[in-house]
Amino acid sequence: MHTLPLSRPLPSGLLLAALMLATRSHHFASPLHLPDASWAVFFLAGALLPGWRPLAGLLGLAAVIDYVAIAFGGVSAFCVSPAYAALVPAYGALYAAGRWYARRHRPAASSLLPFAGAALTGTAVCELLSSGEFYVFSGRFAEPTLAQFGERLLRYFPLALEGMALYLGAALVVAAVVLAVGGSRAAASASR
């Protein structure tokens, strides 16, 4: 396994937590028109941070952000239902996809295919778990049907993919810059 750029756990973890704080729910992000970065944060945390403990920390942070946004920020509690617990396996799927990718990472363009595959798979599983559980167990839909769930997937999944593409694309740009700067520094040191 090759070390990922930005793979220093503490700074990477703090940066990801700050990104979640800045964009989760609609309380901070709305004036800036930023989509929620939570899904990308869980995927990137799986790729960048060691082990599974960071998953628990990020799950706790997400729950606290949601609580504060609802209790003090005037955000609707519509999504808080018995299905809210489904976010644990949904976000866990994104984190696991990031962990899978981390084991296959190479500092080369050939690493983009497994990166994209892991991100797409993790996002699809997360969407199916979070939206599926909400649709079936939230109590917000009188008579859930597979056809109606399919319509909801077609409406909301492209938005989830768009948000993931935005944040993961930005992460790839940052990683490329870090690699380029690191390579330049290594070359300068070698020439001395």
Q: What is the mean pLDDT of residues 85-113?
A: 94
Burial class (CB in 10 A: 0-12, 13-18, 19+), 169: exposed
What average pLDDT is seen over the chain? Answer: 88
DSSP one-letter string for 133-180: HHHHHSS--SS--HHHHHHHHHHHHHHHHHHHHHHHHHHHHHHHHHHH
Q: What residues does each domain of the chain span?
A: 9-182
Across the range 146-155, mean pLDDT stands at: 94
Question: pTM here?
Answer: 0.88
Q: Is the pLDDT of residue 51 over 70?
A: yes
Q: Which of 27-31, 115-119, 127-131 has the lowest mean pLDDT?
A: 27-31
CB of 34 within 8 A of CB of 159?
no
Token pair recorded at residue 1? 């396994």
